[in-house]
A = this chain, B = another copy of it.
Amino acid sequence: MSKKALTRDAILQQAVRSASQIGISRLTIGSLAEQSGLSKSGLFAHFGSKEALQLAVVQAAQAQFVEEVVKPAFTQPRGMARLHALFHGWVMRLYAGSMPGGCPLLAAAYEFDDQPGAIRDALVAGQRWQRDTLQRLLQEAHDAGELAAGSNVPLLAFMLFGLIQSAHHDHQLLDNHHSAQLALQGFAQLCGAPAPYAGQAGS
């Protein structure tokens, strides 16, 4: 990999971390340059504009999600095992140290939902793909007879995504230490999988 690409990747890795804390729209070229050990103009030359930088951050965060959540899930056999691995990995990533300020893509969905442009377009495409992936794995589990008969697959995908958002909200804002457990219990209730920690539900 060329030096340019190496430097660019290092910038983006740090930028995703920063975006998780302050949001993509509040990234500044100056502070990002300082964190990367570059000058403002040196960093700027890698992207050409702030919007291009923000778009690259979105794409880097999406690629990171695929690497850390989707790919590991696809090592599991098709059906409930793969579905459970996807949901479990998705939830647990909210508590991993790699994103100290929460998921930058969920935050960006709120930041850019009213700002047409390339960034919003990329977010929409990415979120649609995430949802479609979740729904496809649900459908495969349903086809394999591992979900309750008559399950409404699109509704289940909608509800599971809500569990993830609720866990994110409770963890990041309310410091609710039971949020991961609640999300996994919710998955168990909706999809009938064995519930980790079942029976330990406190108040």
* A interface residues, Cβ below 8 angstroms from B: 20-23, 25-26, 100-102, 106-107, 109-111, 113-115, 120, 123-124, 127-128, 131, 152, 154-155, 158-159, 161-167, 169-170, 172-174, 178-179, 182-183, 185-186, 189, 201-203
Is there an interface contact between B189 and A155, defined as CB atoms closer than 8 Å? Answer: yes
Chain A binding surface, main DSSP class: helix
Is there an interface contact between A201 and B152, defined as CB atoms closer than 8 Å? Answer: yes
Is there an interface contact between A162 and B173, defined as CB atoms closer than 8 Å? Answer: no
- Least distance between A100 CB and chain B CB atoms (Å): 8
CA distance A83 to B128 in the complex (A): 31
Is there an interface contact between A201 and B106, defined as CB atoms closer than 8 Å? Answer: no
A102 CB contacts on chain B under 8 angstroms = 110, 113-114
Is there an interface contact between A173 and B23, defined as CB atoms closer than 8 Å? Answer: no
Out of B25, B127, B128, B174, which one reaches A26, CB within 8 Å? B25
| Given known contacts A101-B114, A152-B201, A169 and B23 CB-to-CB distance under 8 angstroms | no
A172 CB contacts on chain B under 8 angstroms = 109-110, 113-114
| Given known contacts A26-B25, A110-B102, A173-B124, A201 and B166 CB-to-CB distance under 8 angstroms | no
Most buried by B among A109, A152, A202: A109
Most buried by B among A120, A178, A182: A182
A26 CB contacts on chain B under 8 angstroms = 25
CA distance A169 to B23 in the complex (A): 17
Is there an interface contact between B182 and A155, defined as CB atoms closer than 8 Å? Answer: yes
CA distance A115 to B174 in the complex (A): 13
CA distance A174 to B161 in the complex (A): 13
CA distance A179 to B159 in the complex (A): 11
